Chain A
Amino acid sequence: MTAPTDEATLSIPRGELLRSRVVADVGETLERVLDREITGYATLVPQETLLSAGDARGVLTFETGVPVLAYDTATDRGGPAALASIAVPGPYRVELYAVARSKLETAHATTALRVPPDAPATELAGDPALAARTRDAAPADRESDGRGGDERGGDGDAVTAFLSDDDRIAAIREQAREEARARAAEWGLDEALAESTEAEPGDPDETTEPDRF
């Protein structure tokens, strides 16, 4: 569901600010919204700039605690693809707003922006238990949301969108490689590192303390 979306279709009133903070785990926000059956929306701004699209800014809407729409205002992507854009290993700055259900009706009619109710818990928070609770809380008529009309199931679309983003994957791998080498130095495992084809600027020349290995 990556078709460009008419901005007008995501017209959401500002609403009443309930909460604004940086959270390490967006699952906390999703759980709070679910437990309190909040109707409204949250803006999610990943604080990790390296792995995000740069300035990804997600909007998730909720009805009675259950996620309905996802939108990334940086890329104008909506639905599962928007989840893929904003799914980074936290933290996020989250602002949560309450909006009257009647004022979200027009936006929520935009089926192209819908996501499976449990997809944010699965793809943003990696929390299967929360995903299951969200599925249980979702109305029956939400079952087909975000499924794209083919045999691919549910938020598979978000995962496919993520895996299709080669630049993003390359960034994750590069960051992991750098982290692995930094940690190896910290743990005295430098000697176990494989030969790197690249120069390692900044690597200390001196041998780390002799290890018991």
Chain B
Amino acid sequence: MVEAFAVASGKGGTGKTTSTLALGMALAVEYDVTVVDADTGMANLLFHTGLDDATVTLHDLLVEGTATDVTEATYERFGLSVVPCGTSLAGFEAADPARLRDVVADLATDTDVLLLDSPAALGSKSAVLPVVLADRVVIVVEPTIPALSDGLKVQEYARSYGTETAGVLLNRVREATESVATQAGRHFGGPVLASVPDSDVVRAARRAGMPLLAHAPDSEPADRYREAAARLEVRDGDGEAVAARFKSAVVPDTP
């Protein structure tokens, strides 16, 4: 059983990595969860999971001709399988983001839920790939006009590739906005999963190099993330079939 979610925002600084890990940890109570830092140009996941000194990362898997196995870049942390991305420019330059498809296919054979922490903007082929590959997308937005506009844009990009919206997470909410949540729900193809308040607890977790749900499991933001995960209905899928689909995905059907 596997479903791959791209966690995307269309804009930087919305708390996407925090959200990916929080959803991952909340889902891990019920599922085997693998979290992949698919933002190959702006590695973030490793700083949130205490993996700053990881020796093998996704970058190594994306270099053509290397025999590195995906398991070597997979770390068990906080009840999750974490595939971090490296921070070196050389690693980024050597990496071929297009190989992400094969990595995702490999991971899909042995997990229940795959969360792809996706690049903030959709300005390049490599940036849009996680959204192309995923079954569905979780859109993380702050409840502001620019962020919601960007979130709508992500939704339409994803939908163009047949990737529907699993839900919207309103993040860094400064003041309760029930009307905003209701209205946002009308325009996105999935439910508003939760409104996560802006909180110093979230920043403290990041500084500590820990996921929010490990650093402050009893905080209000942590509760909201658990609520969001509960609303995210993970669909059954045949891991092998999904892997096969990834393997064949995006291959031009040339005669």
Contacts and interface: CB of A to CB of B under 8 A. Distances in A.
A3 B109 CA distance: 58
B250 interface: yes
A171 B82 CA distance: 39
A131 B13 CA distance: 14
Interface in B56-93: none
A128 interface: yes
Nearest to B146: A126
Given A126-B147, A160-B183, A194-B162, A172 B152 contact: yes
Given A162-B148, A163-B148, A184-B160, A189 B250 contact: yes
What range describes how many residues of B lie at the interface?
35 or more
A32 B147 CA distance: 23
A5 B6 CA distance: 45
A87 B145 contact: yes
Nearest to B180: A159
B179 A156 contact: yes
Contact of A163 (B132, B159, B184): B184
Interface stretch (A37-45, A103-111, A146-154): A146-154
A84 B175 contact: no
A115 to B, nearest CB: 13
Interface string B211-255: 000000000000000000000000000000000000001111110
Interface stretch (A15-23, A70-78, A173-181): A173-181
A67 to B, nearest CB: 15
B176 to A, nearest CB: 6
A208 B147 CA distance: 33
A162 B145 contact: yes
A212 B157 contact: no
Given A176-B156, A188-B125, A194-B160, A87 B249 contact: no
B250 A125 contact: no
A138 interface: no
B182 to A, nearest CB: 9
A96 interface: no
A125 B146 contact: yes
A169 interface: yes
Given A160-B183, A162-B148, A163-B183, A172 B177 contact: no
A191 interface: yes
Contact residues of A: prevailing secondary structure: helix
Contacts of A181: 160
Nearest to B158: A180
Contact of B250 (A124, A156, A163, A211): A211
Contacts of B161: 180, 184, 189, 192-194
Contact of A154 (B132, B156, B175): B175
Contacts of B48: none
Contact of B177 (A152, A188, A190, A211): A152
Contact of B11 (A126, A158, A172): A126
B220 to A, nearest CB: 16
Interface of A: 83-84, 87, 89, 122-126, 128, 151-156, 158-160, 162-164, 169, 172-173, 176-177, 179-181, 183-184, 187-194, 207-208, 210-213
Interface of B: 11, 13, 96, 98, 101, 122, 124-125, 128, 132, 142-149, 152-153, 155-157, 159-162, 172, 174-180, 183-184, 186-187, 249-254
24 contacts: A84-B145, A87-B149, A89-B146, A124-B146, A126-B145, A126-B146, A128-B13, A128-B142, A151-B178, A154-B175, A159-B143, A159-B144, A160-B177, A172-B152, A172-B153, A173-B155, A176-B153, A180-B157, A183-B157, A188-B252, A192-B161, A207-B254, A212-B98, A213-B252
